[in-house]
Amino acid sequence: MEIRAAVLGQCGGHRRPYGAGEPLALKALELDPPKPGELLVRIDAAGLCHSDLSVINGDRPRPMPMALGHEASATVLALGSADERQFAVGDRVVLVFLPACGECVPCLSGEGYLCADGAAANGEGRLLQGGVRLHDAGAPVKHHLGVSAFASHAVVDRRSAVKVDADVPPEIAALFGCAVLTGVGAVLNTAGVKAGESLIVYGLGGVGLSALLGALAAGAQPVMAVDPSPEKRALALELGAAQAVAPGEAAGLPRADVVIETVGRAAVLADAYAAARRGGRVVTVGLPNPAEMLSIPAVSLVADAKTLMGSYMGSSIPARDIPRYLALWKAGRLPVERLLTSVSPLSRINALMDELADGRAVRQIVVPD
């Protein structure tokens, strides 16, 4: 079938403003039907994330050309096999950016977010079962993180989808595929934050503010935040942060039990590490350029008994955690709707990337035109 999708032809080398240079081209592509174990879905809403921007600016090298977008909600239109029991036509789903094979050692150990097969598929721009389902005049187009959500439709592995209730608005449901899954998961799963622990979040984008909401839901106290944007700091305070300061004022904050770094810069991670108390835990979810190196006092890992942890996808099991986080949202304990900056047509995708790169947006949603 013919679909419309935003395709990136070159990774890196694009000049700002993106709204003028238009690195993402809206194209008519041919989408193959789903194979057994795959789903054809209509994209209902897709969120813009720095992981998309990092492919455009070259921080996250990926094979080209690629149809971008990885955080989305969708509706199932067709099943790849007649005996599919997990999903049905008409189901509403959240799409997630790492399909777990369910058979490797990490998957069998409850760490599907470390699935080697899923990571390899994502790195090669293919679906988990191999190959691509997108074509431009016969030439293959790569999939972004198994999803390619900046489009009207997609074919995804069924392990890239989690069924959700039909009463969740699409623009809200989309946030749970990456921002909420990553930010809240970093707090609850990776750091294991307990009620009464103090916590600092570095970076108040969609993931950082989700982490802040997750910390508040967990009963952390006080919850503090660091970000250069006055508007984002004001939002953090409205959401319940005890303090929200600019990076130059972060030294005045008390050292915390837990520090969450979401910016994706080695220098910021070093600051976050220094902000943890002796015996504290530092969790990083940001994805810096592979060339960046972290420099910390090696002796502090022993002398200060600090723990530095990486958190991919919030150490989450999507089929388990997305329903849990949605339940918290329905109960009013994760007001992620406050993170929505805008809902726009897909045709504005390049201009929206400028707003994201400038730090003027928390979470933007695009919907097919």
Is 173's pLDDT higher than 90?
yes
**pLDDT for res 82:** 86
Q: Where are the domains of the chain?
A: 2-177+335-367, 181-313
For 2-177+335-367, give the CATH class. alpha beta
What superfamily does domain 181-313 belong to in CATH?
NAD(P)-binding Rossmann-like Domain (3.40.50.720)
Q: CA-to-CA distance for 47 and 343, rounded, in angstroms?
A: 9
248-305 pLDDT, tens digit each: 999 999 999 999 999 999 999 999 999 999 999 999 999 999 999 999 999 999 999 9
**pLDDT for res 368:** 96
Strand pairing category for 256-261 and 199-202:
parallel
- Average pLDDT score, the chain: 97
Q: Which long-range contacts (CB under 8 A, 24 or more apart) does 285-288 make?
A: 285/182, 285/183, 285/186, 285/207, 285/211, 285/260, 285/261, 285/310, 285/311, 285/312, 285/314, 286/203, 286/261, 286/262, 287/50, 287/51, 287/54, 287/59, 287/60, 288/59, 288/264
Percentage of the chain beyond pLDDT 90 is 99
51-91 pLDDT, tens digit each: 999 999 999 999 999 999 999 999 999 999 988 989 999 99
8-47 pLDDT, tens digit each: 999 999 999 999 999 999 999 999 999 999 999 999 999 9
Using only the alpha carbons of the chain, give its radius of gyration: 20
74-133 pLDDT, tens digit each: 999 999 998 898 999 999 999 999 999 999 999 999 999 999 999 999 999 999 999 999
**pLDDT for res 92:** 98
